[in-house]
Amino acid sequence: MGRRENRMQSRNGRQKLTCVTCPNCHKTPFNALTQELLEVNSWEKSADIICRRLKIDLSDRTAFKELHKNFSYTLFQLSKCWNENKGNVLVIGGILVIFGRIAPDVLLRDKMLNSGPTFVSKIVMSLSHPTTRGLALETLHTASHHGGPHIPDLLAVETLPAIVRVLESSLDPPADWVDDGVEQCLPIICHMFTSLFRTASWCPTSPSRLEQLRVHKILPLALDRIRAKGLNITWNELIHGVTMITELPSVARDLFHQHPNAIRLMAACLRSPSIAFRGQGVLGVYRLEDIDRHKKTARHSEITFAVMERAITQTPPQKIQEALSSYGAEDCHIEVKLKAYEDMLCATEQCTTDGDLLVYGRSLAEIIPRAGSLHFCGVLDSTDASQPKLVPFSDWRESLHHAALALRAENELDAADIVELHYLRAHGPSKLDALGDLARAAISRNPTIPFFYYVLNRTHGTQSIDAVRKGLECENNQGIIYYELLFSRGSFALARAITELENAVMDPARLEQGVAYLRCAHEDMKVYIEGAPPDATDMLSALDQFIILSIVLNGPKFSPDLPEITVKSFLYLCKDILEKYKLAEEIHAFFFENSAPITLMNCVRTTIMRELPKAAKEWDIFIERTSDISPWLANLQQKALTETLAIDSEELQSMAKKDVPREHSEASTVRGTNNREIKLYKCSWCHSSTAVMRKCSRCGKARYCDANCQKYHWSVHKAECTSPEIEL
- Look at residue 635 in the predicted model and tell me its pLDDT: 60
Kindly report which listed range (97-106, 176-185, 291-300) carries the lowest average pLDDT score.
291-300
77 class by beta-carbon count within 10 Å (0-12 exposed, 13-18 middle, 19+ buried): middle
Name the most confidently modeled range: 3-7, 176-180, 410-414, 692-696.
410-414
Residue 176 pLDDT more than 60? yes
Q: Rounded to a whole number, what is the distance in angstroms from the first to the last CA of the chain?
A: 47
Q: Does the pLDDT of residue 575 top 70, yes or no? A: no
Q: Which pairing describes strands 689-690 and 677-682: parallel, antiparallel, or unpaired? A: antiparallel
Q: What is the model's pLDDT at position 375?
A: 67
Please give the full DSSP string across 247-279, using - where no structure is assigned: HGGGT-HHHHHH-HHHHHHHHHGGGSS-HHHHH
Give the residue, 94 or 646, on which the prediction is more confident: 94
Selection from 498, 428, 496 nearest residue 458 by Cα: 428
Domain that holds residue 699: 668-718
Q: Are 494 and 517 in contact (CB under 8 A)?
A: yes
Spatial distance between the Cα atoms of 358 and 370, rounded to a whole number of angstroms: 19
**Which tops the pLDDT comparison, 122 or 508?**
122
What integer pLDDT is reported at residue 666 of this predicted model? Answer: 55
**Which segment of 44-48, 173-177, 580-584, 627-631 scores lowest on mean pLDDT?**
627-631
The larger pLDDT score, comparing residue 256 to residue 150, is at: 256
Q: Which residues, including other chains, have CB under 8 Å from residue 324's CB and lie 6 or more apart?
A: 316, 332, 335, 533, 534, 535
Residue 572: predicted pLDDT? 46
d(C-alpha 47, C-alpha 52), whole Å:
9
Could you tell me which of 68, 96, 72, 70 has the C-alpha nearest to residue 82? 96
In a domain, 618, yes or no: no
More confident call, 578 vs 408: 408
- Taken in order 382, 387, 388, 390, the sign of the CA dihedral is negative
Q: pLDDT exceeding 90 applies to what percent of the chain?
A: 36
What pLDDT is stored for residue 17 in this prediction?
39
| pLDDT computed for residue 409 by the predictor | 94
Q: Tell me what pLDDT residue 1 has.
A: 38
Which amino acid is it at 569? S
Mean pLDDT, residues 12-32 taken together = 44
What are the C-alpha distances in Å from 83 to residues 20, 29, 101?
11, 11, 20
**Residue 507's pLDDT is what?**
67
Query: Which band of pLDDT confidence, cut at 50, 70 and 90, is reported for residue 565?
Result: confident
- Looking at the domain assignment, is residue 360 inside a domain? yes
359 neighbors 328 (Cβ within 8 angstroms): no
Residue type, 582: K
Least confident segment among 1-15, 329-343, 370-384, 664-678: 1-15
| 432-450 average pLDDT score | 91
Cross-strand bridge partners of residue 668: 680
Q: Is the pLDDT of residue 721 over 90?
A: no
Number of domains in the chain: 2
Centre a 10 Å sphere on the Cβ of residue 136 and count the other Cβ atoms it contains: 29
The whole-angstrom separation of Cα 453 and Cα 455 is 5
Question: Mean pLDDT, to the nearest integer, of 179-205?
Answer: 79
Check residue 128 and give its pLDDT: 86
| pLDDT band at 99; cut points 50, 70, 90 | very high
Q: 2 pLDDT exceeds 60?
A: no
| pLDDT confidence tier of residue 702, bands split at 50, 70 and 90 | confident
% of the chain residues with pLDDT over 70: 81
pLDDT of residue 146: 62
Q: Is residue 98 part of a domain?
A: no
| Mean predicted confidence (pLDDT) in 193-221 | 81
Instruction: Kindly state whether residue 703 falls inside one of the protein's structural domains.
Output: yes
Taking alpha carbons only, the member of 710, 679, 724 closest to residue 62 is 679
**Residue 699 pLDDT > 80, yes or no?**
yes
In a domain, 45, yes or no: no
Q: In what order do the strands lie in the sheet with 689-690?
A: 668-671, 677-682, 689-690
Cα dihedral 489, 495, 498, 501 in deg (nearest 10): -50
Coil, helix or strand at residue 379? strand
The 10s digit of each residue's pLDDT in 280-334 is: 999 999 999 886 654 555 555 678 778 888 888 889 999 999 999 999 999 999 9
- The better pLDDT of the pair 724, 375 is held by 375
pLDDT: which is higher, 117 or 462? 117
Rounded Cα distance between 255 and 269, Å, is: 19
- More reliable by pLDDT, 655 or 173: 173
Residue, of 719 and 317, whose pLDDT is higher: 317
pLDDT, residue 109, reads 86
96 lies in a domain?
no
Compute, in degrees rounded to 10, the torsion defined by CA atoms 589, 592, 594, 595: -50
The mean per-residue pLDDT over the stretch 3-18 comes to: 35
Q: Identify which has the larger pLDDT, 484 or 674.
A: 484
**Is it the case that residue 687 has pLDDT exceeding 90?**
no
Residue 657 has pLDDT above 50, yes or no: no
Stretch among 250-254, 257-261, 440-444, 561-565 having the lowest mean pLDDT: 561-565
Q: How confident is the model at residue 568 (pLDDT cuts 50, 70, 90)?
A: very low
Q: How confident is the model over 675-691, as a mean pLDDT?
A: 81
SS (H, E, C) 440-491: HHHHHHCCCCHHHHHHHHHCCCCCHHHHHHHHHHCCCCCHHHHHHHHHHHHH
User: How many residues are there in the chain?
Assistant: 728
Q: Can you give the pLDDT at residue 688?
A: 79
pLDDT band at residue 636 using 50, 70 and 90 as cut-offs: low
**3-state secondary structure (DSSP) of residue 678:** strand
* Residue 94: inside a domain: no
Assigned domain for 683 exists: yes
The answer, yes or no, to whether residue 726 has pLDDT greater than 50, is no
DSSP state of 316: P
Mean pLDDT is lowest, of 41-50, 77-86, 174-183, for 174-183
Top mean pLDDT of 522-526, 628-632, 649-653 is at: 522-526
Taking alpha carbons only, the member of 256, 190, 206 closest to residue 506 is 190
Dihedral in degrees, nearest 10, Cα atoms 256, 259, 264, 265: -90
Arithmetic mean of pLDDT over the chain: 81
684 has a pLDDT exceeding 90: no
Is 20's pLDDT higher than 60? Answer: no
- What is the rounded CA–CA span in Å between residue 121 and residue 98? 16
CA distances from 647 to 474, 643, 655 (A): 18, 12, 9
